[in-house]
Amino acid sequence: MVENLVIVESPAKAKTIEKFLGDSFLVKSSFGHIRDLDKKDFGIDIKNNFTPKYIVSTDKKKVVTELKKLAKEAETVWIASDEDREGEAIAWHLFEELKLKKEKTKRIVFHEITKDAILNAVENPRQIDDNLVNAQQARRILDRLVGFEISPVLWKKVKPSLSAGRVQSVAVRLIVEREREIISFESESFFKVIAQFTITDEKGVEKTLKAELPKRFSTKEETLDFLTSCKNAEYHIDDIVKKPSLRKPAAPFTTSTLQQEASRKLGFSVSQTMTVAQRLYEAGNITYMRTDSVNLSETALNTAKEEITRLHGADYVKIRKYSTKSKGAQEAHEAIRPTYLNKHKVEGESNEKRLYDLIWKRTIASQMSDAKLEKTNIKINISTNEEKFVATGEMIKFEGFLKVYLESTDDEEQKQEQSLLPQVNVGDKLESEFVKAVQNFTHRPPRFTEASLVKKLEDLGIGRPSTYAPTITTVQNRGYVVKESRDGVQRQYEVLNLIDDAIEEETLIQNTGAENKKLFPSDIGMVVTDFLIKHFSNIMNYNFTAEVEKEFDEIAVGKMVWQEMIGKFYHPFHANVEKTLEESERETGERILGNDPKTGKVILVRIGRYGPMAQLGESAEGDEEKPKFASLRTGQHLETITLEEAIDLFKLPRDLGLYEDKKVVVAIGRFGPYVRHDGKFASLHKDVDDPMTIDLERAIVLVEEKREKDRLKHIKSFEEDAELQILNGRWGPYISYQKENYRLAKDIEDPKTLSYEDCLKIIKSAPKKKTSKVAKKAPAKKKAPAKKKATTTKKKTTTAKKKTSTAKK
DNA sequence: CAGTGAGCGAGCTTCCGCTTGACTT
């Protein structure tokens, strides 16, 4: 029996707070939301003014029972969930579900977990804010209506099991539209001219000065004209301009910026970042990791000041207050920072250490002084020409925060060298070492990484810190988006070099367009997006969330009634759903590529029941012959596949001949190219075998390899039952029985010794299979391996190919 | 596991946001 029961959302928080409060307080956690809308019949009584039906989630039953019991015994229940829309709703659900009494329930909030803040909160309790709760209910119900009404339309009109939602569908749209921009992008080339000069100072020391021509030439002719004009030219320093500038540190981490920096600096996926951060949080090393606030507590600011002074001196301290720019931020927490800033390192595995280091540096740097820079611009005259070269340099006058931390950018091209310029004076004469024109190409827009997509969503005010990572995972699990690395292609570029008054021409090769862990839309992602834009343009609008958020805010301050807001949205929306179901065509992404030269029949591609496919001929009435079908291969897409590539798809299956008097056939199945022989299948080796060219000899090798593998796989069969086998798998020996697999206990030394009865016993005692909810996966076809050689991810690997030295006189 | 792509059709799929384990066929 306790006097006071305090309920917070997170168990780690509960542990910390308990220390600050006396013995008369018991602190427990609700583990987030405890109730949600029923899944049956929408969980909303639409006809009855959208009355929601909430049920306790199955995984929360235990918590609720325990809290109920404790609440009954306690004299006062303090609900201390977060001070935002969701937190208020959690408080209300607790109040309702635990059947609390108003007079013995107190609602308290605090933004930082310090003794003072918490004691202060206890001194100033309030009531549950019904308006805020209603804003959350409106949010929840709107999302349910959108998701559960549109998804079934997709099942009917596109493909079963698909999903649509306010957040995920827009996330996919961003990726689809970016991909189309990239597909239609036409790169243009231009020539950039750089020059290298030497200058000898008074002491006779030779120094180098690199400069660039601001003007770009679009053709080779113009470039050559320019270079030719520079023959026998003299170069002088024309002008020197020095300009001071400041650079400010970035704000402390929020969830989104942490995900971005961990991606850029550490190569983490967004979900990996969150997992590692969670561990740091649970160990008490960092503050809460799901936040949109950039605010630091007074205590944190004070320790930052002390720590920076101690490490670098008082000159380096500049205490700053940052304010949130992102739309819809609710700021229930602090920014993500180390709990104790004087702790420079943590124990733990390497990723935890690295992420902590990043957080520590970012937090410290955010309270350090500006870096003072001096930018120098030197203009260089060309005696034979009106153009001027420009040399730029940047000098750090005072490091400030740069001593600790510099935020990275997503721009891969931006690796501007920090060149220190030599001391020169106006009028100095320069010797030209070379003037070189290099062919460059305009860049297509970049593909999204997981983290840059999160940034974009945050900029649009779509999604919350707790959902960024799950959303990114969902759109991949649904098969709308794939994360892939791809090799680039080789491209030639020209270099024209003026050395010793002669022009040398070279053609070099560079690798371009290589991608490392980028997001690509799948065909189904594109088709679904097109369908949704066509029929549900308002939901797909990038401003939809921002607009409904405005209304939620109105509800939160009591200026709008939530049922009215939902009603105004729902009725036209629902009518549109009905209309779409009735009138819209099936969306298949069909594209007619042309005609088969052999049969003259039409060849088209579209989404089929099992994914993207090509079709030869149509099932017209009166036409006896059925159309032929073939799945598209990995890397082929509805929007970009050519007629020739599609024709090739119909060249399979190929009959290779006989082996042991049985046919050997090569074809492509759900799991890629394979050889079939005597009812057995063997996969072709990736990147080695090509189903179009593989010969009988090689196919036999694969068949034999497969036989050997099967021999190794099989450990024991039983006469009693052919369906029961002991096999060797990726995780060691296991029992296979009636298409189900069962693991063996670790202490079994030799599985061969198991008897039939032993096996049945193991099967019986095996834990019940869970519902196959997690087992569901995107089509196997899309599961491209992320492996890629390290060298291919480098942007520019230039290798000289041929050297055509056609020096002009 | 494996060449499917209509036919007959039951029953299922699905949202966003708040939390942490359980457990890798």
A312-345 tens-digit pLDDT: 999 999 999 999 888 878 887 899 999 999 999 9
pLDDT, tens digit, for every residue of A569-626?
999 999 999 999 999 988 899 999 999 888 888 899 998 887 889 998 876 655 567 7
pLDDT average, residue stretch A210-238: 96
Average pLDDT across chain A, whole number: 88
pLDDT over 70 at A371, yes or no: yes
Would you list the DSSP string of A266-279? H---HHHHHHHHHH
Residues A464 and A578 in one domain: yes
Domain end marker among A549, A584, A619: A584
| Token pair listed for A53 | 């039906």
- CA–C1' A717–B4 (A): 31
Nucleotide nearest to A671 (CA to C1'): B2
| Token pair listed for A16 | 């910390």
Residues A287 and A349 in one domain: yes
**A683 or A540, which is more confident?**
A540
Residues 604-623 on chain A lying near strand B, CB distance under 7 A: 608-611, 613
Residues A348 and A270 in one domain: yes
| Token pair listed for A445 | 């827009």
Q: At what angle do helices A562-583 and A544-556 cross, to 10 degrees?
A: 150
Alpha carbon A83 to chain centroid distance?
A: 29
Q: Which has the closest alpha carbon to A599: A620, A577, A618, A574?
A: A618
Residues A113 and A79 in one domain: yes
**Is residue A312 in a domain?**
yes
For residue A331, give its domain range.
Answer: 255-369
Find the largest Cα–Cα distance for chain A: 100
Residue whose Cα is closest to the C1' of B15: A147
A229 touches strand B (CB under 7 A): no
Place of tokens 């089929």: A608
> Is A188 in contact with A199 (CB distance < 8 Å)?
no
Residues A157 and A51 in one domain: no
Residues A300 and A350 in one domain: yes
pLDDT over 80 at A109, yes or no: yes
pLDDT, tens digit, for every residue of A493-520?
999 999 999 999 999 999 999 999 999 9
Measured distance CA(A516)–CA(A97) in Å, rounded? 48
Alpha carbon A89 to chain centroid distance?
A: 29
How many structural domains does chain A have?
Answer: 5
Residues A571 and A617 in one domain: no
A12 touches strand B (CB under 7 A): yes
Residue whose Cα is closest to the C1' of B13: A161
pLDDT over 70 at A72, yes or no: yes
Residues 122-141 on chain A lying near strand B, CB distance under 7 A: 139-140
CATH number at residue A335: 1.10.290.10
pLDDT, tens digit, for every residue of A231-245?
999 999 999 999 999
Place of tokens 């029929």: A535
**Is residue A412 in a domain?**
no
Quick check: helix, strand or coil at residue A399?
coil
Q: List, in sequence order, every beta strand (DSSP E) within A684-765.
A: 714-717, 724-729, 732-737, 740-743
Residues A449 and A543 in one domain: yes
Domain end marker among A319, A336, A369: A369
A326 touches strand B (CB under 7 A): no
Nucleotide nearest to A333 (CA to C1'): B18
Residue A724, number of CB atoms within 10 A of its CB: 17
Residues A287 and A306 in one domain: yes
Protein-covered nucleotides on strand B (Cβ within 7 A): 1-6, 12-21, 23-25
Residues 77-106 on chain A lying near strand B, CB distance under 7 A: 82, 84-87, 90
**Is residue A681 in a domain?**
no
A471 touches strand B (CB under 7 A): yes
Phi-psi region of A501 (alpha: psi -120 to 50; beta: other; left: phi over 0): left
Please give the pLDDT value at position A752: 74
Residue whose Cα is closest to the C1' of B16: A143
Domain end marker among A369, A390, A425: A369
pLDDT band at A794 (very low <50, low <70, confident <90, very high): very low
pLDDT over 90 at A708, yes or no: no
Measured distance CA(A166)–CA(A463) in Å, rounded? 9
> Is A150 in contact with A531 (CB distance < 8 Å)?
no
Measured distance CA(A397)–CA(A401) in Å, rounded? 12
- CA–C1' A527–B10 (A): 28
b/e per residue A313-323 (b: at least 16 CB within 10 A): eeebbbebebe
**Cα torsion angle, A428, A429, A431, A436, sign:** positive
**Is residue A374 in a domain?**
no
- CA–C1' A682–B8 (A): 35
Measured distance CA(A304)–CA(A801) in Å, rounded? 55
Specify the pairing of strand A4-8 against strand A76-79.
Answer: parallel
DSSP state of A767: P
Residues 376-415 on chain A lying near strand B, CB distance under 7 A: none
pTM, two decimal places: 0.86
pLDDT band at A521 (very low <50, low <70, confident <90, very high): very high
Write out the catalytic residue numbers of A: 288
pLDDT, tens digit, for every residue of A754-774?
777 777 777 766 655 443 333
**Cα torsion angle, A582, A588, A593, A595, sign:** negative
A735 touches strand B (CB under 7 A): no
Residues A580 and A598 in one domain: no
Which are the contacts of A436, defined by CB distance < 8 A and separation ≥ 6? Answer: A193, A194, A195, A196, A495, A496, A497, A498
A460 touches strand B (CB under 7 A): no
Q: Which amino acid is at A150?
A: I
Using CB atoms within 10 Å of the CB of residue A36, give its burial: 0 to 12 exposed, 13 to 18 middle, 19+ buried.
middle
Measured distance CA(A737)–CA(A720) in Å, rounded? 12
Q: List, in sequence order, every beta strand (DSSP E) within A627-785.
A: 628-631, 654-659, 662-669, 672-677, 680-683, 714-717, 724-729, 732-737, 740-743
pLDDT over 60 at A776, yes or no: no
**A245 or A687, which is more confident?**
A245
**Is residue A154 in a domain?**
yes
Please give the pLDDT value at position A624: 62
CATH number at residue A484: 1.10.460.10
pLDDT average, residue stretch A652-661: 80
Would you list the DSSP string of A280-346? HHHTTSB--SS-------HHHHHHHHHHHHHHH-GGGB--------STT----S--B-BSSTT----
A743 touches strand B (CB under 7 A): yes
**Is residue A202 in a domain?**
no
Please give the pLDDT value at position A803: 37
Residues A565 and A479 in one domain: yes
**Is residue A311 in a domain?**
yes
pLDDT average, residue stretch A93-117: 94
| Token pair listed for A164 | 């649509």
Residue whose Cα is closest to the C1' of B4: A610
A152 touches strand B (CB under 7 A): yes
**Is residue A471 in a domain?**
yes
Measured distance CA(A393)–CA(A211) in Å, rounded? 10
pLDDT over 90 at A745, yes or no: no
Measured distance CA(A88)–CA(A97) in Å, rounded? 14
Q: Which has the closest alpha carbon to A423: A236, A246, A202?
A: A202
Residues A458 and A573 in one domain: yes
pLDDT average, residue stretch A367-392: 96
